[in-house]
């Protein structure tokens, strides 16, 4: 058996309280799932066996995919998980799981808007406190205290980005339609001007002076 602190962490994983996480590497024939220094479960001859009773209803294994899933996540489930495959595809891979406290869905309000831009305010209320976050500033929480960042650091910027993209697309479409309408109107005006000029030319009447000049081309010599 191996110790989790002797294996290099391959990937960082995140989850929220009450949720679940599936480790991406499978054990299909023979192998173990290790949490920190504790072996939670094993697979032998494609059969799953739970070794820690405290995790009996918490750790699942899919015999079709060979993947381990940890359910009912709590904050104390954060740590290093190691998948150790001993047969078939042999490998040892470790993951660092961080479980964040769950938070309500964020409230998104429009602060100001114009034809060129739109400013949105994203906020979430947790434990009686109102945490306000910005969609900019490299996705950082306005509150510098890391203990109050929770999972909102990951959730809010994504929601804000999606909304901002949608607003930008709508504004761009409106500007494009406006420009296209103006271009079409200019084209119609130009066409009307050409037609007007042609009508005037077709109904043109030469003056009396021009008529005399044009008809008196054979005057007798002096």
The pLDDT value recorded for residue 197 is: 47
Q: Which residue has the higher pLDDT, 124 or 210?
A: 124
For the chain, the structural domain boundaries read 4-100, 107-174
The yes-or-no verdict on residue 60 having pLDDT over 90 is yes
Query: CA 122 to CA 114: how far, in whole Å?
Result: 19
- Strand order from edge to edge, sheet including 129-133: 107-113, 118-126, 129-133
- At CA 75, angle to CA 138 and CA 123, rounded to 5? 40
What DSSP designation does 220 have? P
The yes-or-no verdict on residue 21 having pLDDT over 90 is yes
Structure confidence by residue, pLDDT tens digits, 68-98: 999 999 999 999 999 999 998 999 999 999 9
- Band (pLDDT 50/70/90 cuts) for residue 6 is low
The yes-or-no verdict on residue 137 having pLDDT over 70 is no
Give the pLDDT mean for 110-123. Answer: 76
The yes-or-no verdict on residue 146 having pLDDT over 50 is no
The pLDDT value recorded for residue 15 is: 93
Q: Which residue has the higher pLDDT, 29 or 119?
A: 29
Query: CA 66 to CA 55: how far, in whole Å?
Result: 18
- Specify the 3-state DSSP secondary structure of 175: helix
Question: Cα-flanking dihedrals φ and ψ of residue 46, to 5°?
Answer: 60, 30
CATH entry, 4-100, from 2.40.50.1040, 3.40.50.2000, 3.90.1150.10, 2.60.40.10 = 2.60.40.10
- Band (pLDDT 50/70/90 cuts) for residue 115 is confident
Structure confidence by residue, pLDDT tens digits, 177-198: 666 666 666 665 555 554 544 4
């Amino acid at each position: 058996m191996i110790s989790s602190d002797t294996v290099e962490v391959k990937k960082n994983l995140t989850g929220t309280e009450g949720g679940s996480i599936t480790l991406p590497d499978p054990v299909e024939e023979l192998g173990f799932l290790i949490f920190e220094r504790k072996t939670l479960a094993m697979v032998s001859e494609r059969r799953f066996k739970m070794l820690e009773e405290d995790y009996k209803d918490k750790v699942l294994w899919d015999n079709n995919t060979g993947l381990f899933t940890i359910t009912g996540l709590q904050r104390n489930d954060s740590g290093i998980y190691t998948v150790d495959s001993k047969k078939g595809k042999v490998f040892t891979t470790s993951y660092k799981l961080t479980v964040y406290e769950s938070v309500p869905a964020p409230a998104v309000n429009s602060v100001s808007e114009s034809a060129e831009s739109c400013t949105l305010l994203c906020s979430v209320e947790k434990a009686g406190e109102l945490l306000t976050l910005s969609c900019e500033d490299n996705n950082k929480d306005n509150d510098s205290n890391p203990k109050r960042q929770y999972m909102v650091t990951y959730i809010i910027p994504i929601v804000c980005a999606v909304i901002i993209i949608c607003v930008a697309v709508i504004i761009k479409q409106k500007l494009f339609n406006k420009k296209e309408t103006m271009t079409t109107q200019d084209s119609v005006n130009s066409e009307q001007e050409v037609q007007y000029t042609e009508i005037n030319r077709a109904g043109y009447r030469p003056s009396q002076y021009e008529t005399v000049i044009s008809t008196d081309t054979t005057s007798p010599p002096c």
